[in-house]
Structure formats: C-alpha cells, structure tokens
Amino acid sequence: MDGARIPILKVGRVLVVPIQFDMDDQTVIHLQERILHELERTCARGVLIDISLLEMIDSFIGRMLSDIAAMARIMDARTVVVGMQPAVAITLVELGLELKGVETVLNVDEGFKLLRAEFNTPDEEEEEFYWETSVIGK
C-alpha cells in the first residue's frame, strides 16, 4: 500500500487530504511526511483532512493525526479533520483517545469556513480559491 495513493489537493491556500481507504502504518507515516513537504512547498496555511470514508481510527492513527496537527502548527498551518463518522467518534471516546490539538468539524464545507476565517481571506481571492485546484502528488 503506497502512501502516494492518498492524494493531496491544493485548494487555494488549503491542502485537502481525502483519506479513502484503510491505511497501514507506513502509509500514515508517509502521508505525514508528504503533508509537511507540501506545506513547505506550497506555503499553504491550512490542512483539511477528510476522514469521512475512514471506518476506523485506532490509537496509532489517532496519534498520527495529532502529530500532523502539531507539526503543521509549527509550520504555521491549521489542521482540521472533517467528516468523522459517528461510530468512529463513539469508538474514539470509548477507547479513551483524545485527538489532542486536532480540530474536528462535521463536513468539508464547515472545514473550509473555519480555515477561511483563520487566514482572513479577502473576497477577491475566493475565485482562485475555488478554481485553482490541482492534484499534488509524487
């Protein structure tokens, strides 16, 4: 399972990471590296990780999400995790896992709203925000 199979999309100044399948540990570690690399390369200010398709978060993936948020913050970017399934949320709580430093919102829309508020995007940039979408990968 190659970590590169998870796309990292640049939407405006936000990196969008849709996780679409169950990841093994190496994939998660690789993903973490790639996000940091892209943050540096694109000067993005926000990371939006979509886990709506992720059926499970165990302690390892949970810690990696926390780590990604912490590292991104050091690189001056804010991380938002969106679309967590209710069952996954229940499981996380029962497991006793807090996603430290990770902000979660219900869906991608809310995520963008939160991030946009964060770096105070002027209206003129909004067009670019929507249209300059590109797939970044290796």
Partner 1 sequence: MKDIQSTRLGDVYVRREGDIVNVRERVRRLAREMGFDATTKIKITTAVSEVTRNIYEYAQAGAITLSLAEREPDVGLMVTARDEGPGIDEKTLHAILRGAYQSASGLGVGLSGTRKLMDEFDIETGEGRGTRVTVVKWLPRAEGSRVKEQMEELRGLLGSDQKDSAVEELKQQNRDLVQILEELEEKREELEKVNRQLSETNHELNEANEKLRELSEMKEEFLALTTHDLRSPLTVISGVISFFTSGRLGELTPEQKNMVAMMERNTQSLIELVNDLLDTSKLESGTMKLDFSSIDLRGLMDELRETMEPLAKEKGIFLEESLSPDLPPVKADRPKLRRIIVNLLSNAIKFTPKGGKVSLKAEREDGRIRIYVTDTGVGIAKEDVERLFDKYEQARSRATRGEKGTGLGLYITRQLVELHGSHIKVDSKLGRGSTFSFTMPISSFQF
Binding site for partner 1 (CB under 8 A): 1, 22-26, 55-60, 62-63, 66, 85-88, 90-91, 94-97
CA distance 78 to 58: 23
Which residue number, 20 or 134, has a Cβ lying nearer to partner 1? Answer: 20
Which residue number, 22 or 40, has a Cβ lying nearer to partner 1? Answer: 22
Q: How far is the CB of 21 from partner 1 (least distance, A)?
A: 9
Q: How far is the CB of 56 from partner 1 (least distance, A)?
A: 5
Which residue number, 58 or 128, has a Cβ lying nearer to partner 1? Answer: 58
**Helix 59-74, helix 25-42: angle, nearest 10:** 10
